[in-house]
Homo-oligomer: A and B are copies of this chain.
């Protein structure tokens, strides 16, 4: 039993020049579209996450309350639910999966939202990490449609340092011979575990480890946390799917399209939406400094860092109650205006 819907796209032309046929954009909705069609929230998914993981931001009494809002969670291509290397129609499956860009994702989501639901205005787009990159892309591509954006622990263009961090992630997976250039029959577990270890140092802050926050979360030791949080969340993933999402992430740039032609300032300046941009103060790969530069180019944006030692995970949906409350307050505030 699936708990989500599929939007079928017979033919999805990609920025890379090829076409993905029989593409499936999986999505789930929460709440009801009201008569005025003005209660729409779009909440794209993050790297390695699926719609279910975004539910940590949704709920009665939360800012994203399905009794008030119609919340649409589109799954990013490559996330193993929407079309991905692991589930695509041959010949574009597995190692042959084409490069899918940030733009490709968001323009497909736009087709879903306009064609299936007839929605013309979106009250808010928000999301964490790569979900935040999609948030920025929504605001920039559809400025007359998107009224508010709240990008969390993210950037409108992947920075060079972030790119390099991801080079390490890729190298860890692909150093495993079992990966076989993507043509594995059995998962490259050694590479996936290595990726988990590489990720562990990046995703939370130095202070998170200094203060042993993982013990408060119920892990019994540092090694227990590394194995049962970081390795565990990767070994069940499909390596090609992870690598497809890494490509999307490494190449994310809201100005990389025919509208803005690489003019990043113009792509940011086009965002009419009211924006609260929320970096994590201690985020090591989406540091607040990149958002400062972005906000300076946006006509209606405020920078509001999450003061947290959770690093990148500060923005994770429901990852910790203090930061979740801080984000909920900001979402409530922006939706009230």
Give the B-binding residues of A (Cβ under 8 A).
Answer: 159-161, 163-165, 167-168, 170-172, 174-178, 190-191, 193-195, 197-202, 205-210, 212, 222, 226, 284-285, 287, 289-290
Write 22 A-B pairs (CB below 8 A) sorted by A numbering: A160-B212, A161-B201, A164-B197, A164-B226, A165-B201, A167-B226, A168-B172, A168-B194, A170-B197, A171-B193, A171-B194, A172-B198, A174-B194, A175-B190, A175-B191, A176-B177, A177-B177, A206-B287, A206-B290, A210-B289, A210-B290, A284-B284
In the bound assembly, the distance between CA atoms of A280 and B303 in angstroms comes to: 27
Q: Chain B residues with Cβ under 8 A from A161's Cβ?
A: 201, 205-206, 208-210
Out of B172, B222, B289, which one reaches A194, CB within 8 Å?
A: B172
Taking the nearest CB of chain B, how far is it from the CB of A254, in angstroms? 17
Query: Is there contact, CB below 8 Å, between B287 and A167?
Result: no
Taking the nearest CB of chain B, how far is it from the CB of A168, in angstroms? 4
Closest to A198 in B: B168
Q: Chain B residues with Cβ under 8 A from A206's Cβ?
A: 159, 161, 284-285, 287, 289-290
In the bound assembly, the distance between CA atoms of A108 and B139 in angstroms comes to: 62
Query: Is there contact, CB below 8 Å, between B197 and A159?
Result: no
Closest to A172 in B: B172
Q: Chain B residues with Cβ under 8 A from A285's Cβ?
A: 201, 206
Q: Chain B residues with Cβ under 8 A from A205's Cβ?
A: 161
4 extra interface residue pairs, beta carbon distance < 8 Å, beyond A167-B226, A168-B197, A176-B177: A165-B201, A171-B193, A175-B175, A210-B289
Q: Chain B residues with Cβ under 8 A from A289's Cβ?
A: 206-207, 210
Q: Chain B residues with Cβ under 8 A from A160's Cβ?
A: 209-210, 212, 222
In the bound assembly, the distance between CA atoms of A209 and B163 in angstroms comes to: 10
In the bound assembly, the distance between CA atoms of A76 and B207 in angstroms comes to: 29
Query: Is there contact, CB below 8 Å, between A171 and B172?
Result: yes
Given the known inter-chain contacts A176-B175, A191-B175, please indicate yes or no for A167 contacting B200, CB distance below 8 A.
Answer: yes
Taking the nearest CB of chain B, how far is it from the CB of A286, in angstroms? 9
Out of B165, B167, B172, B207, which one reaches A175, CB within 8 Å?
A: B172
